Structure 1
């Protein structure tokens, strides 16, 4: 009997992006999980992307922080919590409440977020609590509040399927929100007359389903939407329910659309779609938000929808999609330094008094706290003397990451709550607190369409790990507030939060889930996904369709947006570096990096650069580029492609000191922020680029973890161990000794060396099993990485040193479909040999592209390239 199959599946929610997919997780009884999409969850209806599907491969205790640590020594929970409470209390007593700060995360559950904000804003008495969500959606918050009077997403996911035109701007939906992309792709397939427009300087995978791609000049988004506004058909809705139209139109009429760099033919097509289609949804994400004028870009989009009345009705409206699983929940509990819980305003005395009275708070914060960039500046100059970082890695992901790391290292007292002790940030802590992770936590999250879902505990906590809300509450009790933080479980926290939302609802807040104020543990356990609001006043649905907004006069506000284009790059730093995510990884890979198949698509940090730039700089494909500016330096693998614009290369954000020290690209990003939202400009760093003069390149695998000491390295998990790409400017004196030290091997390896070509290959075997292998060359190493890596998990093949499989073992090539492990060579053989000339045919024969669909754009590109080659022959 299959024990796992006899266990009931548990309904929970994915740990990754803001889509908020439902997951069916089945514990196997041995610490593992079987994962499937939940067909009943209204966010995904059973679909999962490859990251979500691989969640079961990321649980376990390997590498986990299993007990508290003080100054790198294991401690008891009482010792650690007593010290945290003592140091924070002493710092506040000596220097005031603004001398401490919390930096938290959109990956925390709502209950965790609520407790952190209650402690900081209501009891410590400072608003110095901010979140890594500041880096991804603060400009959307600011835009919503300026236009609607509240931070409210008007529409629902189903609007993507009901619309007749969908505009995607600053959003690579195919890679960053794959399940929403698949919903949209399915709607397009069912109704081919639906128009899809992608506005993005890059030609991303999302363009695969687009009828129109507008590769606008980076930073010119507000120019484009102001131009669109100036030619928009005005709606009676606008005259009745919107203020500021005349000023907004006057500003819109002043733009020069040529600044977008777009061909007038493309502009006319875009305008025709906008003018002739009533049901339009505009989806926007980080490409809009992550700018020093992101708030204005958001309002330029909102202006267009308000002027035409395309808001709050089926199939129409602006739609902000969030990057983190609970970025929305953080916004709802007031997780940003300038907000109160339940969409109340920190600077409104009536709102402050209501929250203070509800909490019976002794020291309510009265003014906004420090936003993320300013918070770490305050750490740097000593204004913040005690810092608590929870569930995030600012030493990697903050702008000026090297400067931030130095600031944390110099802080008087740093607490880090995390699952791992080895993150770049955790290594800087005085006190490390082991936190539960996905699968061990119990609480709620809110997705991008305002749907609250449960994350349920599936596995016991690893070691002594505790939930974040519990850790925060235990410290609060020790600081003298036992009555206010005496919950026994997350259901009680949620119930209190729901009750506070009723108070907010009485004050006119749109966020009101007071229908759940009396929830008990059984009701909480059975809680089904629901859209807020949920109260006696209102149940779910869309917002603003009837023209009622949360402003003093009840009208929406259009803003006169004055576009600010990026400053020209200085001669010494002639490139503008765009940063972002890749398909199969998440943030700094502390979780996704544990799943071997998620590293097979793109396994190392890279620089995507236009062919013209590559030729001018002397950068050959697969070589290394050195990227530098006054803030920092990175070394990245060169990927030459015309998907990016000349002068505007792209690099992913995921690599860290643990996985690729020279790939920490946020070290290059300056601390330039939007003056309204405080969101950093993460997509326009001015940099210089030059070839990195590597004397050698190498690829290595080993059954044990290993870390080289060389200029460039990037590692990834394999089924039987680790792989690492390496390069250096200095040649080791003795490669055998270097390899023995690298792999911790004392025996002599088998060595094959070609002095004429400058190549060396060596392997360490033990009882016929591969322990480690190293392949060295004076240029990027060419071999079948999948073949070499496979030797770690099975018998060592005779062709291992050749680096290629034998003739009876075709090389599958680089991974394309991570869901089913299908490589590019397998797909190309299917196209050429089996005539698989559609994505559907490839899926039927090879399974590639038949699950999450994220690789379908790559499959179409391979089919197209083959067709072009055949036509040219």
Structure 2
């Protein structure tokens, strides 16, 4: 076999940097990381990695700021008490064994994560399906990508993404559906925009109910009515048939079934006027899109959570795949259907059977031959004979007592699953909960009977697979902290204590990877596209030096394959694909008089999942520091919700309290809320508590984009914010947001009743937590503190600031109105060793004497450039383009995800 994938490794670069892979989205960017002690590192993009060629987004470039051990789980615990690893592992193994012997293998479950490395995933799946003998292992990838998995299996016979990132640069038309790639996959989106600058023919279409940062760069934005994607693409399929744009040669040669799909499209989307009416868009814009698609051979269609997270997400994905199969636009340069993966290793988890309805190596759990193949390869005592419970079903089974024990790894279902209050209730009832986690004090921690400290990014070693099937290495560049261990080690040691020692005697991630590679080629004979048997003979040095490579990697393709299916070769018998008839369906629940609005949840630019990692970076929290609800001005007026006020959201499942943002970018009748905030950062910002737990009947993916809700203004007795050099404790208020800054903590506050005495309340707020002690020097320091205070009981206004030796320690601003001074200038004072005398005069006013001193809220997180700085530069230097602003201030020159906001400032 050629040594190309792992020759010239260049693992260690200048300054001792280690080549590794970003732990965030599915783009899979390469990183050069150089440790600077046990809790910090210099982070740069890897110019040799083919996913990003050296560029990083704001999240990736700030990874060095997220390595603090301050909140890490460092030792095993049983019921909150530190124990030895032997005690913890033995307790897990014995309890699982007891429950299995008493109630059967389906009484236990694993819930895993796209944050695991492939080797971790492989061992967990092997233990559950091949040794415990149950299918009850599922993953949080169920929540974001399982509709695509199901659709690709229905169309291709296997879960395969046919194209590669280069296709975006070679296309003449790129269609983004349900994807705000400018924020959620920014490095890939910047590659697309660079291609657009080079290719004047290239057009971008964005299909999304909201006008987003992605929409601003599109040549055409189709703000379709939520849930009508399948109608739109059925209409396109019908249009292609009517206008002789079908590749019948490709159909006859490479498709087994297609006639019914055309007929269903004709019946459900018969004409442009009918489709435009159902989708809520103009006939003119719809015709433009259809004409562009019909006339442009080099077309790539990208989709993400806006399509997947639906009770008919699988059908929506198939409606997209159908138009590419019908036109033969698949597997060729610059064309194909392309799923943008949400997590760094969602695809790696799929490769090893991390979903409850899969076996490892893209084999089917319901196929007896496949079960025999896997059981034989593993020499397993048993094999799961039926699919296990998918994520939402799994936690319902816990609530119902059918699952007695669950092991949760590298994810937080208490925050991320829909109807999360019900999930928490289920966990509270569960007989035995094991949590393998990096962090302590999460929303999930309180439910853990056993907590097992796992290695985090930067400490663990293995592989991940990105959205274009590219396997990359994550390499350790930091030492293991405390007693933390790799997930694969934890799982295999439990397996050994359960009596399966010989088959789980792994000593390194390399041993697991080569076993995984051997299984992919075992009895394959070219029947399955997923095949990395060409890497099965890697020795340890070869694994350590493995360079990024796209599967399949085998004897026929030793250097990997960028594109698939150009010449057919699908995974169904006969090697033919199938077009799936798609009957469009309404969302699981529709608005009514009690819940008249539609909730849509999603991600924002600078945060990730439940903020466990990104919440540690002060740079990332400055852009959008609070959970918010985007409302159309019509709806805001109808429900008397001013911009910037607090609004209460309620569904049939739960409530949340967030900040209102009124914008024309949001459709009437729809509300968008980010999904990141959890208990440590927002006491009532848990938006998944509201989300409808209805799921797609094929994929099991939840309906996260369409939950009926109602809203009402929240009118507090007072609103306020506090900035403190030290964290505050026991803030008992209706609304509390906690944000980490550069040398300070920011708290947004509101409550229904004022305290009797503001000064006393503030001093209580700053008191040490219960059980802590104060040194004599600390007490002397308190005595030397200087308080500045302003109170106007008539207007309900209170402000105070605390300085020590001239250094700002704390300030708080209270008012009856939610309109309070900006936070950015005050926050900047915490970086000063001494507050200047002239600044003291302005301190309680909350604004500087000179406007030049206030940079304003952050727009560019990569270089910490605020809106006021941008406005001043635009005005004083007469800047007219984003490129000129980049040259002057660097803003927008790294990941580019702030460029849409910069362009809005230029236009305003």
TM-score class, shorter: over 0.9
Aligned equivalent of 1:242, options 250, 255, 264: 255
Calculate the TM-score normalised by the size of structure 2: 0.94
Counterpart of 2:105 in structure 1 is 97
1:752 aligns with 2:775: no
Aligned residues: 862
Counterpart of 2:744 in structure 1 is 721
Summarize the Cα distance change of 1:771–1:300 in structure 2 as closer, same or farther, 3 Å threshold. same
Aligned equivalent of 2:129, options 121, 129, 140: 121
Shift in Å at residue 6 of structure 1?
6.8
Counterpart CA distance in 1 for 2:590 and 2:398 is 32
1:277 aligns with 2:296: yes
Aligned equivalent of 1:666, options 650, 666, 688: 688
SS at match of 2:869: helix
Counterpart CA distance in 1 for 2:379 and 2:760 is 66
Counterpart of 1:360 in structure 2 is 379
Counterpart CA distance in 2 for 1:520 and 1:726 is 57
1:612 aligns with 2:620: no
Counterpart CA distance in 2 for 1:385 and 1:613 is 45
Counterpart CA distance in 2 for 1:93 and 1:777 is 61
1:59 aligns with 2:67: yes
Q: Is the 8 A contact 1:338 1:368 kept in 2?
A: yes
Moved more, 722-731 or 669-678: 722-731
Counterpart CA distance in 2 for 1:800 and 1:513 is 63
Shift in Å at residue 5 of structure 1?
10
Aligned equivalent of 1:42, options 43, 50, 59: 50
Q: Is the 8 A contact 1:784 1:805 kept in 2?
A: no
Counterpart CA distance in 2 for 1:811 and 1:721 is 17
Counterpart of 1:818 in structure 2 is 861
Shift in Å at residue 793 of structure 1?
2.7
1:484 aligns with 2:483: no
Counterpart CA distance in 2 for 1:819 and 1:548 is 44
Counterpart CA distance in 2 for 1:335 and 1:215 is 35
Counterpart CA distance in 2 for 1:60 and 1:594 is 8
Shift in Å at residue 370 of structure 1?
0.1
1:200-599 superposed matches below 5 A: 200-232=208-240, 233-235=245-247, 236-254=249-267, 255=269, 256-257=274-275, 258-503=277-522, 505-506=524-525, 508-538=527-557, 539-566=560-587, 567-599=589-621
Counterpart CA distance in 1 for 2:538 and 2:453 is 29
Aligned equivalent of 1:697, options 691, 701, 719: 719
Summarize the Cα distance change of 1:641–1:537 in structure 2 as closer, same or farther, 3 Å threshold. same
SS at match of 1:553: helix
SS at match of 2:16: coil
Q: Is the 8 A contact 1:16 1:586 kept in 2?
A: yes
Counterpart CA distance in 2 for 1:821 and 1:16 is 21
Q: CA RMSD in A?
A: 1.4
1:858 aligns with 2:901: yes
**Residues 737-792 of structure 1, C-alpha deviations (whole Å, 9 max, x = no match):** 22122222676843211234321111233332222211111112422311211222
Shift in Å at residue 461 of structure 1?
1.2
Q: Is the 8 A contact 1:421 1:427 kept in 2?
A: no
Counterpart of 1:773 in structure 2 is 811
Summarize the Cα distance change of 1:657–1:504 in structure 2 as closer, same or farther, 3 Å threshold. farther
Counterpart of 2:774 in structure 1 is none
Counterpart of 1:836 in structure 2 is 879
Counterpart CA distance in 2 for 1:26 and 1:215 is 44
Summarize the Cα distance change of 1:711–1:100 in structure 2 as closer, same or farther, 3 Å threshold. same
Moved more, 170-179 or 421-430: 421-430
Counterpart of 2:6 in structure 1 is none
Shift in Å at residue 565 of structure 1?
2.2
Counterpart CA distance in 1 for 2:13 and 2:570 is 50
1:168 aligns with 2:176: yes
Q: Is the 8 A contact 2:38 2:478 kept in 1?
A: no
Counterpart of 1:869 in structure 2 is none
SS at match of 1:166: strand
Shift in Å at residue 721 of structure 1?
2.6
Counterpart CA distance in 2 for 1:657 and 1:51 is 21
SS at match of 1:481: helix
Shift in Å at residue 467 of structure 1?
0.6
Counterpart CA distance in 2 for 1:499 and 1:547 is 25
Aligned equivalent of 1:742, options 765, 769, 780: 765
Counterpart CA distance in 2 for 1:296 and 1:277 is 24
Q: Is the 8 A contact 1:82 1:478 kept in 2?
A: yes
Shift in Å at residue 31 of structure 1?
3.6
Counterpart CA distance in 2 for 1:551 and 1:278 is 26
Summarize the Cα distance change of 1:658–1:704 in structure 2 as closer, same or farther, 3 Å threshold. same
Shift in Å at residue 239 of structure 1?
2.2
**Residues 69-98 of structure 1, C-alpha deviations (whole Å, 9 max, x = no match):** 110111111111110011001010100000
Moved more, 598-607 or 728-737: 728-737
Shift in Å at residue 291 of structure 1?
0.2
Counterpart of 1:196 in structure 2 is 204
Shift in Å at residue 542 of structure 1?
1.0
Aligned equivalent of 2:665, options 643, 646, 663: 643
Identify unmatched segments of 5+ residues in structure 1. 866-873
Shift in Å at residue 574 of structure 1?
0.3
Calculate the TM-score normalised by the size of structure 1: 0.97
Counterpart of 1:782 in structure 2 is 820
Counterpart CA distance in 1 for 2:712 and 2:73 is 40
Q: Is the 8 A contact 1:171 1:284 kept in 2?
A: yes
Counterpart of 2:8 in structure 1 is none
Q: Is the 8 A contact 2:179 2:306 kept in 1?
A: yes
Q: Is the 8 A contact 2:117 2:464 kept in 1?
A: yes
Counterpart CA distance in 2 for 1:634 and 1:31 is 35
Counterpart CA distance in 2 for 1:263 and 1:568 is 23
Shift in Å at residue 505 of structure 1?
2.7
Moved more, 40-49 or 566-575: 566-575
Summarize the Cα distance change of 1:738–1:561 in structure 2 as closer, same or farther, 3 Å threshold. same
SS at match of 1:662: coil
**Residues 486-530 of structure 1, C-alpha deviations (whole Å, 9 max, x = no match):** 011111111111111111533711111111112222111111100
SS at match of 1:478: helix
Aligned equivalent of 2:146, options 127, 138, 141: 138
Counterpart CA distance in 2 for 1:7 and 1:826 is 34
Counterpart of 1:868 in structure 2 is none
Counterpart CA distance in 2 for 1:31 and 1:379 is 38
Counterpart CA distance in 2 for 1:574 and 1:304 is 34
Counterpart CA distance in 1 for 2:547 and 2:13 is 24
Aligned equivalent of 2:96, options 67, 71, 88: 88
**Residues 51-76 of structure 1, C-alpha deviations (whole Å, 9 max, x = no match):** 00000000131111111111011111
Counterpart CA distance in 2 for 1:742 and 1:113 is 44
Moved more, 149-158 or 808-817: 808-817
**Residues 188-230 of structure 1, C-alpha deviations (whole Å, 9 max, x = no match):** 0111220110000000000122110000111000000000000
Q: Which stretches of structure 1, 4 residues or more, deviate above 6 A after TM superposition?
A: 745-748
Q: Is the 8 A contact 1:85 1:478 kept in 2?
A: yes
1:187 aligns with 2:195: yes
Identify unmatched segments of 5+ residues in structure 2. 1-11, 769-781
SS at match of 1:636: strand
